[in-house]
Amino acid sequence: MLLTYTSGEEIRTGDRILYHGEPAQVEFVAQRGDPETDWYVDQFGGGCMILAPSFGRVFVSETDEDLEFVARDPAPSTS
């Protein structure tokens, strides 16, 4: 199951976003099969943890329409 923004892009760890108009970043995406995030899936049905300087960490359910995709975090360099 892929989580997507209302614009259609897949939600990925590291994405730069706006949440209620505030700049933020996706800290992790909770999906079934990841033991570190299964609890979030069981409790909320999936979603993502976002981190914003103005309000800290917030877990956002997959149905939240206030996530606005801004940019993809570039992949780390392997060199």
The residue that leads in pLDDT, 73 or 8, is 8
- The pLDDT of residue 23 is 96
Q: Which amino acid is at 39?
A: W
Q: Parallel, antiparallel, or unpaired: how do β-strands 56-61 and 47-52 relate? A: antiparallel
Length of the chain: 79
- The pLDDT of residue 1 is 64
- pLDDT exceeds 80 at position 75: no
Tens digit of each residue's pLDDT (9 = 90 or more) over 10-50: 999 999 999 999 999 999 999 888 888 999 889 888 899 99
Tens digit of each residue's pLDDT (9 = 90 or more) over 47-60: 999 999 999 999 99
